[in-house]
């Protein structure tokens, strides 16, 4: 990872620099015009959020099963990614909705699911921060339960919404948009990989400093 | 020592302890009643309850009282550190989880026995029309809520800031339970009741229960041993 | 499952940024009583908790004979008796109910007679049905000691067992511990009372700032040796 780090950073920077160009050149969506373009950053944010959530859950399972501290670093990173990129999604979502459909919030499936998952991982971080020593293991339990909850929230909100009328219609992608969309997704996912690498390394260094501090105390 | 025997022993002990003071039972019941009353003041306009609030209020009262009961139950264990004594005993740790779960469920059943008629009374909600289905929904939902809550409550008994952390952790995870419970109960309460819809929600609740009880049984031991 | 030796090998235990135990190595064999001394906060309770399998070491190993806490499992826990600082008794229940619960939890045959004998040894027969919340500190301590020893454990871990006891109770407990040692138990106890250490223990070890030093437990001058060891 060390050797790939610099080239990857440059690549991600370049992709994000180029993305606005691609987005500006992408065709307008028929009803929402310019506003719709927020979607190119909004949806990839969700991709990263859910990837972070599953990373946290997977790493938590390993942590509980094997007690590996490294797994715990990955779990924490996954949760932080979920919260940060989830927040981005939760902010860009209402902005888009307000301009496009006149409402700030809609209780549709995706938004509600995203909100619940986001809250779960905020709780995860709160537990780690305020739960005192030993809360890593407890938080691992929360991470696993949070991820297991995702299908249930999806189905329950989905059924809930089908009984009430739907007012949001997520547009289908026209060919010109598809390229831009997947470019942005790739940019975000690579950014995520970069952040995971940096964050896990930071956690490892922090743990190392703690160990040295403890050893030095003698 | 078989699994069931351990569950029975610990449960019996918990009931015995509770019966001596009846503190948790009385306070939780009273809390549930005040909860319903507060909502009554919030949602009743000009003497008429708004819409079909009965279902929502019922489930919110269950969720809030459940959180309170769980907090109190584990706080009591924490005071004499007796949870550690149970972990130390030569028994299957998951049996301890099941015993705690059943104990809180019994408490919630007692609370719901009071809250359900109260909601029916105050909100003129015809809760007794499809009683069997309603009871099934309540049972499945309470089991789901309590299953997750018992695990988290036990986990948090070793942590700091445990009082406020329990609802923060519990509510996002139990969102499907609340949605399913409220929608299922509403389907039974509406002018033209739809038991088929209620049954669909019931099946969601049951699968939630199965998945999360299994998860809790797996994670209880690693999470409780340091 | 039985074992002849409890071995701590380079055990370290951290709590976040605080190191409670620092490369502690200790070996106790059956029929030996080891006194664990040290100032408050030195890590004595942590060491006992690790020996009781309630905590696991951050590094290092703990062996019971040739098994560890993980391989020993429930069978190992059945051979350990732990009197912690928190007494592990339910204040709302009576003395007899407390003992009966733990006796049944340990799967002891004939729980009732075991409970009766334990109540007798604790001197609590006439208060057997009173709720523990009405007991004095000394009475709770006596009950807690009996609870820890109810299942005749091989490894006996006692955290300040003489706290709150009057002279008669102290004498009775001393005799009990001696009998345990004679019957081949491994007894590890913490105490602040150097007199007890002199009269009872085979060996004394001092925990200070998470580190362990062995001092000679017998003979006069124990206080001086202890002070030296504790301040180093």
CB contact at 8 A, A78 and A85: no
Helices (H), chain C: 44-51, 69-77, 95-105, 111-122, 137-149, 167-182, 194-200, 222-231
Q: Are strands B48-49 and B44-45 parallel, antiparallel or unpaired?
A: antiparallel
Candidate from C78, C86, C101 with C-beta closest to B13: C101
Residues B78-96 pLDDT 10s:
777 788 889 899 998 999 9
The pLDDT value recorded for residue A24 is 77
Interface contact flag, B90 C84, Cβ < 8 Å: no
Q: How close, in Å, is residue A152 to chain B by CA atoms?
A: 6
Give dist(CA C44, CA C50) in Å, integer.
10
Interface contact flag, B10 C105, Cβ < 8 Å: yes
Q: Which residue of C has its CA nearest to B23?
A: C92
pLDDT of B125 > 80? The answer is no
Of A188, A193, A148, A200, the closest CA to residue A19 belongs to A188
pLDDT of A164 > 50? The answer is no
Enumerate the residues of chain A whose CB falls inside 8 A of the CB of residue C14: 214
Query: Which residue would you say has higher pLDDT here, A99 or C83?
Result: C83
Residue with tokens 């002018």: B191
Mean pLDDT across B138-163: 89
pLDDT above 90 as % of chain A: 38
Candidate from A119, A120, A130 with C-beta closest to B160: A130
The pLDDT value recorded for residue A31 is 64
Mean pLDDT across A126-136: 86
The CATH number fitting domain C1-79+154-165+186-232, selected from 1.10.4100.10, 3.30.930.10, 3.10.129.10, 3.40.50.300: 3.40.50.300
Mean pLDDT across B100-121: 91
Q: How far apart, in Å, are the Cα atoms of C30 and each of A110, B58, C78, C212?
A: 64, 60, 16, 21
pLDDT of B24 > 70? The answer is yes
Cβ contacts of B182 within 8 Å, gap of 6 or more: B55, B56, B59
Interface contact flag, B88 C82, Cβ < 8 Å: yes
Using the Cβ of B92 and the Cβ atoms of chain C, whether some distance falls under 8 Å is answered with yes
Residues C165-195 pLDDT 10s:
888 888 888 888 898 889 989 999 998 888 8
Q: Does the model's ipTM exceed the 0.90 cut?
A: no
Enumerate the residues of chain B whose CB falls inside 8 A of the CB of residue A162: none
What is C117-173 written as a DSSP string? HHHHHHT-GGGTTSBGGGS-HHHHHHHHHHHHHTT--SEEEEESTTTT--HHHHHHH
pLDDT of A166 > 60? The answer is no
Residues B36-46 pLDDT 10s:
888 888 877 77
The pLDDT value recorded for residue C218 is 62
The pTM assigned to this predicted structure is 0.87
pLDDT of A174 > 70? The answer is no
Mean pLDDT across B190-202: 85
CB contact at 8 A, A121 and A53: yes
Of A141, A116, A115, A118, the closest CA to residue A128 belongs to A141
Candidate from C53, C55, C107 with C-beta closest to B1: C107
pLDDT of A108 > 90? The answer is no
Q: Which residue of C has its CA nearest to A213?
A: C17
Residues A53-99 pLDDT 10s:
999 999 999 999 988 889 999 999 999 999 999 999 888 888 877 77
End-to-end Cα, chain A, rounded Å: 35
The one-character DSSP state at B45 is E
Residues B147, B150, B156, B162, Cα dihedral to 10° = 100
Residue C81 structure tokens: 């008796």
The pLDDT value recorded for residue A167 is 41
Of B199, B177, B203, the closest CA to residue B130 belongs to B199
Mean pLDDT of the residues in chain A: 84
Q: How close, in Å, is residue A210 to chain B by CA atoms?
A: 19
Q: Which of helix, strand or coil describes residue C215?
A: strand
Interface contact flag, C55 B226, Cβ < 8 Å: yes
Q: Are strands C203-208 and C211-215 parallel, antiparallel or unpaired?
A: antiparallel
Cβ contacts of B10 within 8 Å, gap of 6 or more: B86, B95, B96, B99, B100, C105
Confidence band (pLDDT; 50, 70, 90) for A168?
very low
Query: Which residue would you say has higher pLDDT here, C118 or B123?
Result: C118
Mean pLDDT across B5-34: 90
Interface contact flag, B152 A144, Cβ < 8 Å: no
pLDDT of A25 > 60? The answer is yes
pLDDT of A169 > 50? The answer is no
Interface contact flag, A132 B152, Cβ < 8 Å: no
């Amino acid at each position: 990872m060390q050797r790939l780090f610099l080239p990857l950073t440059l690549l991600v920077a370049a992709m994000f620099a180029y993305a606005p160009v691609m987005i500006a050149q992408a065709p307008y969506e028929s009803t929402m015009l310019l506003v719709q373009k927020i979607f190119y950053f909004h949806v990839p944010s969700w991709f990263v959020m859910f990837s972070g959530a599953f990373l946290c859950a997977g790493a938590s399972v390993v942590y509980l099963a094997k007690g590996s501290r490294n797994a715990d670093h990955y779990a924490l990173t996954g949760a932080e990614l979920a919260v940060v990129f989830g927040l981005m999604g939760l902010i860009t979502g209402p902005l888009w909705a307000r301009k496009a459909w006149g409402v700030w919030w809609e209780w549709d499936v995706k938004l509600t699911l995203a909100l619940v998952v986001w809250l779960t991982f905020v709780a995860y971080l709160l537990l780690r921060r305020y739960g005192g020593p030993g809360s890593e293991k407890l938080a691992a339990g929360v991470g696993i339960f949070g991820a297991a909850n995702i299908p249930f929230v999806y189905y329950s909100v989905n059924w809930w919404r089908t009984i009430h009328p739907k007012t949001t219609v997520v547009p289908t992608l026209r060919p010109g948009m598809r390229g831009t969309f997947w470019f942005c997704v790739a940019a975000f996912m690579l950014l995520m990989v970069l952040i995971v690498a940096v964050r896990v390394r930071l956690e490892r260094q922090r743990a190392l400093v703690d160990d040295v501090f403890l050893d030095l105390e003698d | 020592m078989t699994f069931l025997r351990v569950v029975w022993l610990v449960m019996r002990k918990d009931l015995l302890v509770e019966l001596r003071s009846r503190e948790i039972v009385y306070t939780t019941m009273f809390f549930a009643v005040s909860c319903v009353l507060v909502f009554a003041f919030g949602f009743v306009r000009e003497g008429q309850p708004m819409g079909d609030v009965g279902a929502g209020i019922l489930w919110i009262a269950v969720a809030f009282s459940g959180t309170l009961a769980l907090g109190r139950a584990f706080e009591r264990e924490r005071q004499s550190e007796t949870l550690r004594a149970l972990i130390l005993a030569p028994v299957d740790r998951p049996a301890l989880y099941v015993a705690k779960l059943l104990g809180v469920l019994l408490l919630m059943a007692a609370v719901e026995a009071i809250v359900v008629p109260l909601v029916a009374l105050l909100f003129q909600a015809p809760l007794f029309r499809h009683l069997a289905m309603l009871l099934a929904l309540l049972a499945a939902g309470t089991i789901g809520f309590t299953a997750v809550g018992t695990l988290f409550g036990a986990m948090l008994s070793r942590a700091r800031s445990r009082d406020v952390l329990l609802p923060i952790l519990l509510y996002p995870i139990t969102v499907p339970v609340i949605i399913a419970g409220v929608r299922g109960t509403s389907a039974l309460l509406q002018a033209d009741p739809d038991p088929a819809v209620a049954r669909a929600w019931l099946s969601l609740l049951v699968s939630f229960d199965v998945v999360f009880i299994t998860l809790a049984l797996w994670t209880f031991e690693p999470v409780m041993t340091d | 499952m039985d074992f002849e030796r409890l071995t701590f090998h380079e055990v370290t235990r951290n709590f976040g940024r605080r190191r409670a135990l620092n490369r502690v190595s200790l070996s106790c064999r059956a029929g030996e009583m080891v006194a664990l001394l040290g100032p408050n906060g030195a890590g004595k309770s942590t060491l006992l908790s690790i020996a009781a399998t309630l905590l696991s070491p951050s590094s290092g190993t703990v062996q019971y004979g040739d098994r560890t806490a993980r391989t020993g499992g429930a069978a190992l826990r059945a051979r350990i008796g732990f009197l912690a600082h928190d007494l592990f008794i339910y204040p709302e229940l009576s003395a007899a109910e407390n003992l009966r619960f733990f006796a049944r939890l340990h799967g002891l045959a004939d729980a009732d007679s075991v409970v009766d004998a334990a109540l007798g040894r604790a001197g609590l027969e006439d208060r057997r049905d009173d709720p523990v919340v009405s007991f004095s500190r000394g009475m709770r301590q006596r009950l807690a000691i009996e609870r820890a020893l109810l299942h005749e454990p091989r490894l006996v871990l006692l955290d300040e067992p003489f706290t709150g006891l009057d002279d008669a109770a102290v004498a009775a407990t001393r005799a009990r511990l001696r009998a345990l040692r004679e019957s081949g138990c491994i007894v590890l106890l913490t105490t602040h009372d150097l007199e007890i250490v002199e009269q009872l223990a085979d060996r004394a070890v001092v925990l200070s700032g998470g580190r362990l030093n062995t001092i000679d437990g017998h003979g006069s001058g124990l206080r001086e040796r202890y002070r030296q060891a504790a301040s180093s």
